[in-house]
Amino acid sequence: MDSVDLSLMASSTLPLSVLSRGIGFKGPSLLTTMPVPRGQRGIQRHVGQEAKPALIVVDIQRDFCPGGALPVTDGDKIIPAVNKLVGAFEKAGLPIFFTRDWHPSNHVSFKANGGPWPPHCVRNTPGASFHPSLAVADGAVVIDKGTLQSEDAYSGFQGTDLARKLHNIGVKRIYVAGLATDYCVKNTVLDGAAQGFETYVLTDCVRGVNLKRTDSATALRAMLSRGAMQTTSGRLLKSLVLRPTISYPSR
Ligand SMILES: [Zn+2]
């Protein structure tokens, strides 16, 4: 059940009022008033909980976009859709986190130090800055990762306080966008799911490196098989519009 696209299933089998819970509507559980048919128990588990959502935007930095030191093909093409989500989360008062690769200049992941990658995202250099087209929301939290010389971190959770920050503000569900599908998005999604967050990968808001042509598809399969779900920015935006009046505790 975890690997099913819940938003798609909900939109085709449940009334609109249930769909609106898809991003964590607060209020009395519909489950107390509406029987859930056998076979939809997975939905019951999800919609029956309060699930405050957060948006996690992974590593949309200059070096990972065309023209950068370690570019993802069409990495910048996701930015308009990501910006729409950032705007919608901001408007709804929902938390947004931006991760960034933030390496020392002699980082272990660089080829000169025996790693697999060219130098990239060296902290406080232009290549490490967010892409200039990315709308970094006021009040958004920036999570730096890979900050130690001797340790790489593909996941936004690895060696950071992201999980603690999410727990502190009551986030139960995360939506993950960014770069790259087959590395930092994948590992952030896997860690999010492993740590008990309802974790969605936004399939139209990610792009992969694809050293092998099939790497992104393989990564998506791994995410879905290990507890994550997939949705799109369009579906997420629709569900945000359906419940504009929710108020959550402040961040
Ligand atoms: Zn890196």
User: Confidence band (pLDDT; 50, 70, 90) for 240?
Assistant: confident
249 inside domain? no
CA 39 – ligand 1 centroid, Å:
43
Q: What is the pLDDT of residues 25-56, one digit of tens each?
A: 333 333 333 333 443 333 333 443 458 999 99
What pLDDT score was predicted for residue 107?
97
127 inside domain? yes
**Residue 179 sits in a domain of what CATH number?**
3.40.50.850
What pLDDT score was predicted for residue 140?
86
What is the Cα–Cα distance from 41 to 187, expressed in whole angstroms? 28
User: Confidence band (pLDDT; 50, 70, 90) for 82?
Assistant: very high
For the cut 50, the answer to whether the pLDDT of residue 171 exceeds it is yes
Annotated active-site residue in 65, 121, 184, 205:
184
Let me know if 134 is exposed, middle or buried by CB neighbors in 10 A (0-12, 13-18, 19+). buried
User: Confidence band (pLDDT; 50, 70, 90) for 5?
Assistant: very low
Domain that holds residue 139: 52-242
38 inside domain? no
Annotated active-site residue in 76, 101, 145, 152:
145
What pLDDT score was predicted for residue 50?
52
What pLDDT score was predicted for residue 250?
46
123 inside domain? yes
CA 202 – ligand 1 centroid, Å:
22
14 inside domain? no
Round the average pLDDT of the chain to a whole number and report it: 83
CA 231 – ligand 1 centroid, Å:
26
**Tally of domains in the chain:** 1
207 inside domain? yes
Q: What is the pLDDT of residues 137-160, one digit of tens each?
A: 887 899 999 999 999 999 999 999
70 inside domain? yes
CA 122 – ligand 1 centroid, Å:
9
Q: What is the pLDDT of residues 58-74, one digit of tens each?
A: 999 999 999 999 999 99
**Is 65 one of the catalytic residues?**
no
Highest mean pLDDT among 6-10, 17-21, 227-231: 227-231
Q: What is the pLDDT of residues 15-32, one digit of tens each?
A: 333 333 333 333 333 333
Annotated active-site residue in 59, 76, 152, 191:
59
**Is 186 one of the catalytic residues?**
no
Length of the chain: 251
**Is 161 one of the catalytic residues?**
no
What pLDDT score was predicted for residue 139?
79
CA 175 – ligand 1 centroid, Å:
22
Residues whose CB is less than 8 angstroms from the CB of residue 187 and which lie 6 or more positions away in sequence, other chains included: 154, 155, 158
What is this structure's pTM?
A: 0.79
For the cut 70, the answer to whether the pLDDT of residue 219 exceeds it is yes
Higher confidence at residue 242 or residue 170? 170
> Is 100:121 a contact under the CB 8 Å cutoff?
yes
CA 143 – ligand 1 centroid, Å:
14
What pLDDT score was predicted for residue 137?
80
CA 146 – ligand 1 centroid, Å:
7
